[in-house]
Chain A
Amino acid sequence: MAYGTVNADVIGTSVAGSNLGAGNATLMKNKIINGACVIDQRNAGASVSNVAATATYAVDRWKYYGTSASKFTIQQNAGSITPPVGYINYLGFTSSAATVVGTSDIYVFGQPIEGLNITDLAWGTANAKTVTLSFWVYSSLTGTFSGALGNNAANRCYPFSYTISSANTWTQISLTIAGDTTGTWLTTNAIGIQIWFNLGSGSTQLGTAGAWGSTFYYGATSSQSIIATNGATFYITGVQLEVGSNATGFEYRQYGQELALCQRYYEKGSAGAGSRSGDNICYTYINYKQEKRAVPTFAGVSQTLNANYTDSAQCYQAGLGSASNSLFTWTSSAEL
């Protein structure tokens, strides 16, 4: 685009080959939060094993799911390999067994993107914008791997596939996907787009890659399975979903910015409560650093929740002696 040219969402710059807006903007072009896997509030770098049939979050904003328990482990910087240049973290999956899956079993990880953050994509309309999904992957296996994009109702889906040709080598993948012109794509605080990467789901969970359809899949037919090989590894970082037909440089946000984005969905902290004279009950008022997407699930050791809002919580602890105090940790989750 020529210098100074303006269309609906792109402005040509004086730097050859660069534009502002659409997929070339340097600010908030990436729909993925924590794409470089730097924030790990829950596990702080520790390894965890998947639990049965429960979607669980790993590093912030990235959740995983396995039909049966203990089939793989998840860890920030698993295996302690050198990340791609420009990155210090990645999310690692390691197979815990040579698992033979049932046809409908699901073994995946992915990220749900809040609808409020995809309004510009206009998916579900004739003006649906093309997006590009890019990421770095490293696996002990080679072959065709896969994943899928879908909507909140799970009745629109685009399975995708990609190739890892060299084992144990960081490979950058770029996939361009034409926006879906049909279906319902929420632009609310619910899931706008769900992105999944397949780790070895059963055959009925996999569909034909490269086309939109109304059946929901978690990956592409005949794609590689990590969990089928004991000890197999799959590492990923630098995940970016942006408007446009080309992958542009990864959007490096400042650490505090990325943390704040994550805290809209999950936040943890500690608080102290001093006793109230007379009834030995400690009240604590917590103002969240970030307003939550929805009224969150609150957990505080020994605490009873007295009020719960998107921006704050009030809790109390009974049974404390007069003039005593309590220090406790809490978590607040409004994940998608």
Chain B
Amino acid sequence: MYKLSKSMSGYECVIRLEDNACIPFDPANRDAEEFASWLKSGNVPEPAEEGGTITPEWIADTIAKLLPNA
């Protein structure tokens, strides 16, 4: 399971809840690739505590960014 995170500086990442690791939205990061594959399977992360909504467009854009060859 994942949860979005947004820091005070505006830095955004996705938190992998099993180990609290912060995964960047970088297609070269293999954890990010796994997250995108998880999204592609129809899963949805928890929203950030700081607010915000997770839209289908955001999911589609994130998959396209992190899995450019998919």
Contact = CB atoms under 8 A, between A and B. Distances in A.
Interface of A: 153, 189-190, 293-299, 301, 304-308, 316, 331, 333-336
B9 interface: yes
Interface string B8-51: 11010100100111111010111110000000000000000000
A293 B24 CA distance: 13
Contacts of A307: 7, 9, 11
16 contacts: A189-B28, A190-B28, A293-B28, A294-B28, A294-B29, A295-B28, A304-B22, A305-B5, A305-B11, A305-B22, A306-B8, A307-B9, A308-B11, A308-B22, A333-B21, A333-B31
Given A299-B19, A307-B9, 6 more contacts: A296-B24, A297-B24, A305-B22, A306-B7, A307-B11, A308-B13
Given A295-B24, A297-B22, A335 B30 contact: yes
Contacts of A296: 24, 29
B7 A304 contact: yes
Given A295-B26, A295-B29, A301 B20 contact: yes
Nearest to B69: A153
Given A297-B22, A297-B23, A305 B28 contact: no
Interface residues of B, number: 20
B28 A297 contact: no
Nearest to A307: B11
Nearest to A152: B69
B7 A297 contact: no
Contacts of B8: 306, 316
A306 B11 contact: yes
Contact of A299 (B7, B22, B69): B22
Contacts of A335: 30
Contacts of A308: 11, 13, 22, 24
A308 B9 CA distance: 11
Contacts of B20: 299, 301
B21 A306 contact: no
- Closest 6 CB pairs between A and B? A294-B28, A299-B21, A295-B26, A305-B22, A295-B24, A297-B31
Nearest to A336: B30
Contacts of A298: 21-22
A306 B9 CA distance: 6
Given A297-B21, A299-B21, A305 B29 contact: no
A304 to B, nearest CB: 6
A336 B7 CA distance: 26
